[in-house]
């Protein structure tokens, strides 16, 4: 089911993709997911939660695809659900090959909302106007290990790395929300909501997000229509600590703010938020929960409508160069010097970008299915 993510942290299929420089839809990771000796680039042309396609960078052709679904943060496991006659078919596959690793048939209509970082557990949800039912399904055991019946409108954001807690978004009126924690060991909803320092009640429109491959961080780009700003809602899943980090927002034009892409540096605690429409790249220190550097460049003339920019950024494995887009041309950001070069033309709408073998090439997949190659050091297009 495709959603607009009115929540606070998002788990779409490049979180770790972004973290590992693949151009893969959040949170799957091509660097870790590709079979030995090959490099695949994963994209979701229809956005988060939609079908996922894997392109072979050697042949520049489509290798295989997946139905609509969600991947684990470590980039190894993919889940998909389908409903028929009040039964839900839960299917699990290997991200590297698309080979099925099992399926289960469940009673009732269930939607997948969150997967543990390791891919062992999945949170499935049934939602009614005044009630939310959640089951945590352990695929290895082949059964539901927890069943939650909650009053109100809740959304599952994440499963903690140790599997002992669920992180939920409780939706309130006027796009306000609370971050709640459910203790699975004692089967209870923790009474006190998790709050970012200095914030009494959080409000905004969740647009896109990324997750770290180890399951520690869940990061969501929020847009505040009231304050006309963009901010990152970070959640440390190990310490149960949320934080809000304001991003450069220009004049607060919604169409420009939603062009932020977010990319995690491999093995570091730095988040890069790049926006060609605003002409900025912001570096966020996750440990300190603040922007530590802003680099500016000449903004893009326009972007293509409808594309979620979360899938349009990728970083090299040495964290030196970030490539990003607003849906058409490419820019390169040198993290060592804080400089941006580009744009490099793609002559069409693109739905994913990623590094090739040894980070020497950048690949961009266009909406028409054509894959383009660029020299990663210079941005020159390769024929």
Tell which residue, 59, 33, 52, 1, has the closest CA to residue 352.
Answer: 52
In a domain, 242, yes or no: yes
User: Residue-wise pLDDT tens for the chain (383 aa)?
Assistant: 333 332 222 222 233 332 223 334 443 334 445 565 568 888 888 877 788 899 988 889 999 999 999 888 888 899 999 999 999 999 999 998 999 999 999 999 999 999 998 889 999 999 998 999 999 999 888 899 999 999 999 999 899 988 899 999 898 887 788 889 999 999 999 998 887 776 666 777 788 888 888 888 888 888 887 788 999 988 888 888 888 899 999 998 888 898 999 998 887 789 999 999 999 999 999 999 999 999 999 988 766 655 554 458 899 888 999 999 988 899 999 999 999 999 999 998 888 898 887 889 999 999 899 999 999 999 999 98
In a domain, 350, yes or no: yes
Q: Is the peptide bond before 343 cis (omega within 30 degrees of 0)?
A: yes
User: CATH number for the domain including 163?
Assistant: 2.130.10
* Token code pair at residue 347: 């002559």
Strands (E), 85-142: 87-94, 100-107, 111-115, 121-128, 131-138
| pLDDT score recorded for residue 74 | 84
Total structural domains within the chain = 1
In a domain, 48, yes or no: yes
In a domain, 10, yes or no: no
DSSP letters of 17-73? HHHHT--PSTT--HHHHSPTT--EEEE-TT-TTS-EEEEETTTTEEEEEE-S-EE-T
| pLDDT score recorded for residue 297 | 96
In a domain, 8, yes or no: no
Domain, as residue range, for 190: 15-382
In a domain, 4, yes or no: no
In a domain, 201, yes or no: yes
**pTM of structure:** 0.86
Query: Do 38 and 56 form a contact (C-beta atoms < 8 A)?
Result: yes
- How far is 343 from 172, CA to CA, in rounded Å? 41
- How far is 312 from 87, CA to CA, in rounded Å? 36
- How far is 271 from 305, CA to CA, in rounded Å? 25
Which residues are bridge partners to 51 per DSSP? none
In a domain, 1, yes or no: no
């Amino acid at each position: 089911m495709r959603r607009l993510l009115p929540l606070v942290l998002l788990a779409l299929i490049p979180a770790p993709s972004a973290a590992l420089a693949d151009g893969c839809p959040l949170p799957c990771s091509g660097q870790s997911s590709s079979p030995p000796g090959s490099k695949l680039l994963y994209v979701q042309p229809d956005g988060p939660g939609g079908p996922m396609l894997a392109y072979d960078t050697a042949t520049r052709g489509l290798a295989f695809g997946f139905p609509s679904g969600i991947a684990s943060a470590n980039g190894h496991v993919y889940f998909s659900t389908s409903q028929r006659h009040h039964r839900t078919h839960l299917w699990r596959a290997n991200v590297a090959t698309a080979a099925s690793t099992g399926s289960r048939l469940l009673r009732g209509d269930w939607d997948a909302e969150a997967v543990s970082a390791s891919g062992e557990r999945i949170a499935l949800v049934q939602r009614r106007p005044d009630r939310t039912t959640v089951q945590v399904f352990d695929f290895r055991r082949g059964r539901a290990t927890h069943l939650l019946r909650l009053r109100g409108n809740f959304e599952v954001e994440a499963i903690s790395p140790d599997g002992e807690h669920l992180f939920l978004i409780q939706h309130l009126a006027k796009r306000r929300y609370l971050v709640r924690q459910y203790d699975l060991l004692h089967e209870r909803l923790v009474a006190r909501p998790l709050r970012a320092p200095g914030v009494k009640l959080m409000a905004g429109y969740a647009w896109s997000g990324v997750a770290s491959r180890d399951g520690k961080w869940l990061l969501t780009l929020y847009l505040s229509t009231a304050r006309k700003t963009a901010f990152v809602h970070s959640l440390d899943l190990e310490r149960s600590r949320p934080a809000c980090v304001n991003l450069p927002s220009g004049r607060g034009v919604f169409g420009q703010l939603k062009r932020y892409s977010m990319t995690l540096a491999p093995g570091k605690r730095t988040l890069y938020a790049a926006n060609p429409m605003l002409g900025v790249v912001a570096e966020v220190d996750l440990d300190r929960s603040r922007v530590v550097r802003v680099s500016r460049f000449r903004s893009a003339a326009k972007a293509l409508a409808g594309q979620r920019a979360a899938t349009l950024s990728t970083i090299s494995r040495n964290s030196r160069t970030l490539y990003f887009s607003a849906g058409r041309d490419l820019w390169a950001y040198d993290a060592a010097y804080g400089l941006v070069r580009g744009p490099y033309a793609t002559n069409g709408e693109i739905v994913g970008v990623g590094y090739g073998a040894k980070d020497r090439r950048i690949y961009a997949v266009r909406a028409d299915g054509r894959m383009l190659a660029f020299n990663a050091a210079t941005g020159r297009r390769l024929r």
